[in-house]
Amino acid sequence: MGQTSTQREILLMTGTSFTSRQWNIKDESPDKNNKSEKERLEEACWFGVVKEILPELFHQSANEGKAFLWQIMEGKSFLELDMGEAPFEKDTFFSIDPYSFLNETHFN
């Protein structure tokens, strides 16, 4: 039997009080105050803050491996995080990315 791995997609909505808060990351860049809310949130995710702010998503069962952040895609009002044990190709049918299924809504 083949081994399965857990893949996660997480949407973080921007423009909310949750995403506008200050993140505890070590940022030595001189332009850290000039970054937008979305840029600061993305940087915080790359520094691993997402596991601290959403710990309920990372309770691992005995058969799950570690989840690594592989990609962050920026939408108009959200950031989509792709996490898993290894890089993966998303099945757009099961994806929570609104851009993957909104093109098909006119058929309904």
Structure token pair of residue 25: 């990351």
Written as one letter, the residue type at 41 is L
pLDDT of residue 64: 62
Convert the pLDDT of each residue in 77-105 to its tens digit: 899 999 888 887 877 777 888 877 666 55
Which residues in 40-71 are b (16+ Cβ under 10 Å) and which e?
A: bbbbbbeeeebeebeeeeeeeeeeeeebebee
Domain range list for the chain? 7-107
Q: How far apart are CA 36 and CA 20, in angstroms?
A: 10
Contact status, residue 42 vs residue 72, Cβ threshold 8 Å? yes
pLDDT of residue 83: 87
Q: How confident is the model at residue 72 (pLDDT cuts 50, 70, 90)?
A: very high
Q: What's the pTM value of the predicted model, to 2 decimals? A: 0.74
Q: Which of 1, 52, 44, 3 is nearest to 20 (CA)?
A: 44
